Amino acid sequence: MGKLEGKIAVVTGGTSGIGLATAKLFAAEGAYVFITGRREEAIAAAVKAAGSNVQGVRVDVADLADLDHLYETVRARGRIDVVFANAGTSEMALLEGMDEQHFDRIFDVNVKGALFTVQKALPLLNDGASVILTGSIAGVKGAPGYSVYGAGKAAIRQMVRAWTMELRDRGIRSNVISPGPIDTQTMRRQPREAMAAILSAIPMGRTGNAEEVAAAALFLASEDASFVTGIELFVDGGSAQV
């Protein structure tokens, strides 16, 4: 029997990278998984890749009407056992050159989107459910050009601290996964010199992969983490730890 046998899970930003790897793993462990994305063709491809027991819903998490539509769809299954608010966006802007649109793009998706993904799930969440948010080592480390992105990830960490207390009477566990450098298409497009600098700062000497982050998400989603709430679990090869 899988670790999520018979569970219902929602994974936002589930069409690629960490989200898709997590959706695949959740489904393999017995869950029925709803994944979201903003493009229909990407959703269709992800559902095909993830195998059985996966359903896609087109959602922009910054649009509250889209989130209402998501949970109307999920309601047909009756409940939710796991919410993985993973959808996010990232872009670089130095302080002297950033504009209001940069701030709004980052906070609308990464902070507002995560908050209302969880809030609007509450009526469907089972007592004892697991809520997981995707943070980043950027929330605790400074990096030129990523002040707004890092601030948004720090906000996610703080929201989970508060929710841990607010939702304790229902036994709902809230946790953050904060990845470090993960092998993605964006990472692979970095100049060789930039990649060398990134690798030199990772104690384990390599980037991580999406499946390693998905394994951490499975731990937090499952009964293996039944006494784990309010934490920030770093999956970063030690990057933010030393």
- Catalytic residue numbers read 149
58-95 per-residue burial string, b: 16 or more CB within 10 A, e: under 16: ebbbbeeebbeebbebbeeeeebbbbbbbbbebeebee
- Candidates 59, 65, 20; CA nearest to 185 is 20
Q: CB-based burial of residue 179 (10 Å sphere; 0-12 exposed, 13-18 middle, 19+ buried)?
A: buried
Report the SS3 class of residue 24.
Answer: helix
Element at 183 (helix H, strand E) = none
Measured between alpha carbons, how far is 84 from 176 in angstroms, rounded to an integer? 10
Task: Classify residue 212 as left (phi > 0), alpha (psi -120 to 50) or beta.
Answer: alpha
Measured between alpha carbons, how far is 177 from 84 in angstroms, rounded to an integer? 10
Please count the CA atoms within 13 angstroms of the CA of 36 that sit on its side-chain side.
28
* C-alpha distances in Å from residue 192, one per residue of 91, 165, 189: 20, 45, 9
